[in-house]
Homo-oligomer: A and B are copies of this chain.
Amino acid sequence: MDFPVTRIKGGVGAPQGFRTSAVACGIKNPAVERLDLALISSDHPCHSAGTFTTNRVKAAPVRVTQAHLRRGDIRAIVANSGNANACTGVQGIQDANAMCKAVAGSLGLKKTEVGVCSTGVIGLPMPMMRIEPKFEELVAGLGPKNGPDVAKAIMTSDTQAKELAISFDLGDTRVRLGGCVKGAGMISPSMATMLCFITTDANIPTVTLRKAVLECVEESFNRITIDGDMSTNDTVLVLANGASGMTAVRRNGKRCRQFRRALRWLMLELAKAIVRDGERVTKFVTVKVEGARTYLDAKKVAEAVCKSALVKSSWNGGDPNWGRIIHAVGYSRARIREELIDIRIGGKPACLGGLQADTPMDELRAIVAEPEFEISIQLNQGTADYEMFSSDLSPEYIDFNRSEYAYWKQARKDGLV
């Protein structure tokens, strides 16, 4: 960051005027006591923005939240893990609406002022009989210090809660920006199975906020991939309540640009945290494509490399296999010339002009043996570049994703299927 920020505690609860809460409903499994229903609520009206999965199969909560944002601004978010409420038809829409309604009723808001998000298994009805009785406890638990509980409650196969908050000066007012994410599987560009909630007490008008969020998501969450699958539920929601007392930022003014930089930084940190905590991931790989003819060419190359099962397998094995990288570059459909391509691993040339470079194999192996390293691909065709963040693909990932039968057994027990 090019201006001073201070890390603070509390995640989405850190900004002033936000209260949060989380409870355990046993959505996935009534026998297991873990937080799985969360609420974020602002004491003041908010400016709000959201981006959503581009998957044409959209979960019910995505459709409902999109509709609410079209109607105006939201100021509360209710979210659950354990069930995605996707492919659940009319019942799913009713359930998502019921969640908004219950929260809105208790908080004295309109239903359309509440956003709803779900994550978990696809195709099973929501066990509303275990969720509905918990709303009272959820709303009663609202407090300024429960941000970390929200991060915990939205976890699915994540191994750790992921949240971050910072404070910085916008003009002469100190503002706070907090966020939490969940990720793990189905992570791919154009939004992953990921939920991200961000709160701030800065005063950012809705139009400005929505533009900033689109731009920042493009440069953060759209640049990560774990398994190349794009989910039905991906959602990023940002609430700005202005509780810091500052005047509204002017569009494209200095404070606006500063806020956007802070937002991008926060989103990128959260996006990277998703990759690091990907399902059974052992490597965090930064792929930099440079010298492409166009931005789109650079992006195609980065995505092909980051999604190749063979490339990701070789990273898992600690193998500095530039042959597999260049073959993915070749099928990316970007305009490239094989004989101009340089590939560097951790800064050391592995391939120069499309041919094996002189760097001793053992040096390259030592780099790829590390948990984090960088691959740079210089196409020598132009000036466009693109950066992505990827992971390896491990035998344990496949093993982990072999069956969701346990979910179905529970749904059967619940009488839902």
Residues of A bordering B, CB below 8 Å: 54-58, 86-89, 121-124, 185-186, 188, 190, 227-232, 307-310, 313-314, 316-319, 321-324, 326-331, 336, 338-339, 351, 353-356, 361, 365, 393-399, 401-405, 408, 412, 417
Contacts and interface: CB of A to CB of B under 8 A. Distances in A.
Given A54-B331, A331-B56, A404-B321, A354 B87 contact: yes
Contact of A57 (B330, B394, B405): B330
A57 B398 contact: no
Given A54-B331, A186-B327, 18 more contacts: A55-B330, A57-B327, A57-B330, A87-B356, A122-B323, A122-B324, A122-B326, A123-B323, A229-B309, A229-B331, A230-B327, A309-B309, A316-B402, A317-B402, A317-B403, A361-B412, A395-B396, A398-B398
A81 to B, nearest CB: 16
Given A87-B338, A328-B229, A402-B314, A356 B309 contact: no
B404 A330 contact: no
A310 B398 CA distance: 8
Contacts of A412: 361
B395 A232 contact: no
Contacts of A417: 356, 361
A57 B338 contact: yes
Contacts of A229: 308-310, 324, 327-328, 331
Contacts of A395: 395-396, 398-399
A123 B188 CA distance: 29
A232 B330 contact: yes
Contacts of A190: 331
A314 B89 contact: no
Contacts of A308: 228-229
A65 B112 CA distance: 65
A29 to B, nearest CB: 17
Contacts of A307: 228
24 contacts: A54-B331, A56-B330, A57-B329, A87-B354, A87-B356, A89-B339, A89-B355, A122-B326, A123-B326, A123-B351, A228-B308, A229-B308, A309-B393, A309-B397, A309-B398, A313-B398, A313-B401, A314-B402, A314-B403, A314-B404, A317-B403, A356-B417, A361-B417, A393-B398
A55 B355 CA distance: 17
B393 A327 contact: no
Contacts of A88: 355
Nearest to A315: B402
Contacts of A356: 87, 123-124, 417
Nearest to A412: B361
Contacts of A408: 361
A228 B323 contact: no
Contact of A327 (B232, B324, B354): B232
Contact of A326 (B54, B87, B403): B87
A361 B417 CA distance: 9
A87 B355 contact: yes
